[in-house]
A and B are shown apart, each in its own frame.
Chain A
Amino acid sequence: MRIRVATPSGHYRTPTYIQGKVGVIEAVHGAFRNPETLAYGGDGRPKQTLYLVRFDQTHIWAHAEPVPFCQNDRLLIDIYEHWLEPAPEE
């Protein structure tokens, strides 16, 4: 899956550093009320499925200055369904 890229305006729970990156769903946490509307007094519905998505560190920070992380280090992050889109074929 790929994480959608969005111009963050207002309250969002998907950090910028992970937007546009391609990861793999590691686990499904279940459905939760949407914090991005709850934050404005809304009821958070419809609920959004929350996924734990796994990324290779080397894919996230490919263009960063060299830092000592190893090839199999991972980052795992909770992402709501509305931030996910199918990844393009490699």
Chain B
Amino acid sequence: MHDHDAPDSHLPLEADAELTYYEQRVEAIQALLIEKGLLSADDVRRAVEDMDARSPAVGARVIARAWVDPHFKQHLLADAKAAIATLGIDVDTWSTLVAVENTPTIHNVVVCTLCSCYPRSLLGVPPDWYKSLNYRARVVKEPRTVLEEFGLELAPDIEVRVYDSTADMRYLVIPQRPAGTEGMSEGALAELVTRDSMIGVTQAQEPSP
């Protein structure tokens, strides 16, 4: 097991295991950058903590608000970062964000065919499959087949819109609010908003009966 809370990132993490080539390179580069004063061990620890703190829960909170508050949703669609800032979330360092809405007639799904652009501020680190060569190759060419692999079958008359984000924009899908969720609290609604539904490969979860 890796110790994710290692207080001192210099300490060997697996004293009994040999370091792989790449682990050696990371350790060596980090140690040298610290020696040269370009960064500190504390900086690295904080950056890892920041990374751990970002999760799809942030995105889910935004979506749940959009489901219950039509004005917020309009704001989100018009200027996503400004809208999210009104929730007290610090968006200063974020890339430009565009929210796209799923409707009964339009389904959106996001990819980055050239690398792995992803709205990390809202969703955390991307899943392995999002970064995979196969997803990147296929979803632009046969989106419906790919969505079926994720268990999502869409009627032929629904317009599937694939967003290939190539550089400066990040895309967030606003999934459709599931039926039967009238009267649910915003917090309970957020529980239905999965990471995959905000990428667009699935719908939001149905409420448990």
Contacts and interface: CB of A to CB of B under 8 A. Distances in A.
State the majority secondary structure of interface residues on A: mixed
B166 A13 contact: yes
A73 B108 CA distance: 10
B131 interface: no
Range of interface residues on B (Cβ < 8 Å): 20 to 34
A70 B141 contact: no
Interface in A17-71: 17-18, 29-30, 32, 35, 50, 52, 57, 60-61, 64, 67-70
A54 B143 CA distance: 15
B167 A78 contact: yes
A11 to B, nearest CB: 10
Interface string B81-103: 00000000000000010100000
A17 B113 CA distance: 10
Given A17-B140, A50-B169, A73-B159, A78 B114 contact: no
B9 interface: no
Contacts of A5: none
A81 to B, nearest CB: 13
Contact of B141 (A13, A14, A61, A76): A61
Given A15-B114, A74-B160, A76-B162, A69 B168 contact: no
B161 A68 contact: no
Contact of B166 (A69, A70, A73, A77): A77
A60 B144 CA distance: 15
A69 B143 contact: yes
10 contacts: A13-B166, A14-B166, A17-B113, A17-B140, A50-B167, A61-B141, A68-B145, A70-B156, A70-B159, A73-B144
